[in-house]
Amino acid sequence: MRVFHGNTVRQFPFFLTCTFLCVLLCPLSAAAMPEEVSLALNREQPVLALHILRSWAAVSESSEDRAKALWMEARIHSLYFKDFNTAEKTLDRALEKYPGSRMQGDIRFERAVVAMERGDKRKAFQSFAEFVALFPDHPRRESAGAFWRYLKGEEPLPLLAGGDGIRVALSASSNRVQLTGKELRVRDMVTGNYLFSGDRLVLQLGNDGRLRVNGRLAGQPLMVENGGEFFTLDGRRHRGRLRVSGAGGRLLLVNMLDMESYLKGVVPAEMPPSWPAEALKAQAVAARTYALHQMRKRAYEAYDVKSDVRSQVFSTEREDARSSAAVDATRGEVLVWAGQPALTAFHADSGGFTESAEILWGGELPYLRAVSDPWSRNTPNGFWESSFTERELMQLLPELRSLGRIQEIRPEGTTPSGRVHFLDFKGSRGDLRMPAGRFRTRVGPMTLKSTDFTLRHERGSFHFQGKGFGHGVGMSQWGARRMAEAGKDYREILDFYYPHLHRGKMGE
């Protein structure tokens, strides 16, 4: 669906109530799914989740389970891989094979959403109209009606609201943590009973998988509520509430707080607060949109984002008045594609050319294509070098050991941006091909700063020379800084790095 003109981002007063958010995103019977599916998705392993779903469906005697598995498969293809064609075919198969399933409404609703996401406005309109007619009492009836009226041109496009806030998975160094705060209260989320109160709590997950609070056994999950503005977790300051549970033998700590407070801990952690205000504003909008995108993708999971580079770096302790002002100045602003928050990826330095999202994550996104980026050329520290001995590579990549002595590493193929696509390893006992992006992740993205490099083998070591920093998709933070220094405002920065998107507003 293209409801934009050229590269201009248009602003609409989009909104969506908290009820609408829950109805739109939350699966009706997700609890019946195998727990391993949620664990795999929590670990960002959608391929494994698909395998588990298919295995579950293959042995289940329930047609409802099999219909639900296909519906979930389609959601994974759509939300994780942006493979809307496969998602649509999977949903069509579910409709055909299980016409009497109680999942029919959910499947048809998801089918309409997928059509909208891949830009087929006519099919989306027809699908929402059919849903409204066939399922007048379905919980998603209100949501479908809102999208149908938008596609008909009768009202603005609805957009996700922040609901009760964002859920941030915090890192725990062990299965024992200490909390301090003002009037901390621990509530059992199953019974609703308050179990403990005080200014200091010690939470521990035992080897038996059971939680203990100050040494006493407790159920799970637990919610820790704070009577003050902040609480500390192992000495680190946080806002909001803390959800505590055990998952896979590890303590799972999820910080629940409002979106704008979350962003005040993200923006200064992702971009120096000393940088120009317009660059900070662009970062705030990109980070807010990315967070909402993750909230939609992971609505049925235990958390929305992680607090490190796997999502967005988040630290309340790094809050700064300058970056907080940028968050306040752009309050609620997001970028939208096909009625939903866009995947507003960003990175440190494109090196002069951004990368296509299709190369990294699969699924074409028109607003994340490889484009020339003159603002990011010849940045300070933009050029880098790194070297690895054969022994170091064997330690970092154990699969190389089966190749014998590494005789050659040869870059093979280039992406649309000119980055290296694959690396071919030639060994004395065999060969191996690896995507360059995976190689970078495995050897260390802080060492091999990008996949825009040349390579030579000299004196027993492999020497890389390159430019840029990061995956290269979406907004270059250094480019944003330079655009701001040249007098561009944050909207112009966002228009440049995320063409074809609308500007929307979160519901209050």
Pick the closest to residue 336 from 114, 3, 85 (CA basis): 3
Q: List every span in the chain annotated with CATH 1.25.40.10.
A: 18-152
Dump strand ranges (E) for 159-285: 166-170, 176-188, 194-205, 211-213, 216-218, 222-225, 231-233, 236-238, 241-247, 250-257
* Residue 10 pLDDT > 50: no
397-435 residue pLDDT tens: 999 999 999 999 999 999 989 999 999 999 999 999 999
**Better-predicted residue by pLDDT, 501 or 150:** 501
Q: Is the dihedral of CA 503, 415, 312, 223 positive or negative?
A: positive
Residue-level pLDDT at 21? 34
Distance of CA 21 to the CA centre of its chain: 17
Q: How many residues appear in the chain?
A: 508
The amino acid that residue 142 corresponds to is E
Which of 217-221, 239-243, 315-319, 441-445 has the lowest average pLDDT?
217-221
If one counts every other C-beta atom within 10 angstroms of the C-beta of residue 11, the result is: 11
Which of 64-68, 261-265, 279-283 has the lowest average pLDDT?
64-68
* Residue 272 pLDDT > 80: yes
* Residue 5 pLDDT > 80: no
The CA distance from 198 to 109, in Å, is 47
Q: Report the SS3 class of residue 473.
A: strand
Residue-level pLDDT at 165? 85
If one counts every other C-beta atom within 10 angstroms of the C-beta of residue 454, the result is: 11
Distance of CA 51 to the CA centre of its chain: 21
Residues 305 and 42: beta-carbon distance below 8 Å: no
Q: Mean pLDDT, the chain, as a whole number? A: 85
Cβ-Cβ contacts under 8 Å for 86 (sequence gap 6 or more): 74, 77
The confidence band for 365, taking pLDDT boundaries of 50, 70 and 90, is: confident
91-132 residue pLDDT tens: 999 999 999 898 998 899 999 988 887 888 889 889 988 888
**Residue % of the chain over a pLDDT of 90:** 54
The confidence band for 22, taking pLDDT boundaries of 50, 70 and 90, is: very low
Cite the DSSP H helix spans in 173-303.
259-270, 277-297
* Residue 15 pLDDT > 70: no
324 token code pair:
């907080």
The confidence band for 155, taking pLDDT boundaries of 50, 70 and 90, is: low
The confidence band for 162, taking pLDDT boundaries of 50, 70 and 90, is: very low
Residue-level pLDDT at 189? 80
* Residue 154 pLDDT > 80: no
Residue-level pLDDT at 29? 35
Name the one residue in this structure whose structure tokens are 């050329």: 377
* Residue 255 pLDDT > 70: yes
The CA distance from 455 to 407, in Å, is 13
Residue-level pLDDT at 3? 26
**Better-predicted residue by pLDDT, 270 or 508:** 270
The confidence band for 491, taking pLDDT boundaries of 50, 70 and 90, is: very high
The confidence band for 439, taking pLDDT boundaries of 50, 70 and 90, is: very high
**Mean pLDDT of all residues in 283-303:** 87
**Mean pLDDT of all residues in 247-271:** 92
The confidence band for 387, taking pLDDT boundaries of 50, 70 and 90, is: very high
Residues 143 and 26: beta-carbon distance below 8 Å: no
Cβ-Cβ contacts under 8 Å for 352 (sequence gap 6 or more): 372, 373, 374, 376, 377, 467, 468
**CA angle 349-269-38, nearest 5°?**
95
**Mean pLDDT of all residues in 372-393:** 95
The CA distance from 502 to 459, in Å, is 53
Dump strand ranges (E) for 345-483: 346-347, 383-389, 406-414, 420-427, 431-435, 453-458, 461-467, 475-476
**Mean pLDDT of all residues in 380-395:** 94
Beta strand 305-306 with 166-170 is parallel
Element (H, E) at 39: helix 35-42
344-354 residue pLDDT tens: 999 999 999 99
The CA distance from 64 to 164, in Å, is 31
Residues 385 and 363: beta-carbon distance below 8 Å: no
**Mean pLDDT of all residues in 316-344:** 94
Fold for 18-152, please state it: 1.25.40
The confidence band for 169, taking pLDDT boundaries of 50, 70 and 90, is: very high
287 token code pair:
């980070």
446-489 residue pLDDT tens: 999 999 999 999 888 999 999 999 999 999 999 999 999 999 99
**Mean pLDDT of all residues in 15-42:** 44
Element (H, E) at 480: helix 477-485
* Residue 390 pLDDT > 60: yes
* Residue 37 pLDDT > 80: no
The CA distance from 93 to 67, in Å, is 9
Residue-level pLDDT at 61? 85
Q: Report the SS3 class of residue 335.
A: strand
Write the CA distances from 332 to 3, 243, 499, 506, integer angstroms: 21, 25, 20, 5
Residue-level pLDDT at 403? 94
Pick the closest to residue 287 from 271, 303, 302 (CA basis): 271
The amino acid that residue 187 corresponds to is R
Residue-level pLDDT at 44? 59
The CA distance from 131 to 482, in Å, is 48
Name the one residue in this structure whose structure tokens are 């979106």: 259
Residue-level pLDDT at 49? 82
If one counts every other C-beta atom within 10 angstroms of the C-beta of residue 365, the result is: 19
Residues 187 and 256: beta-carbon distance below 8 Å: no
**Residue % of the chain over a pLDDT of 70:** 88
Name the one residue in this structure whose structure tokens are 């998801």: 110
Residue-level pLDDT at 159? 52
Pick the closest to residue 472 from 414, 423, 425 (CA basis): 414
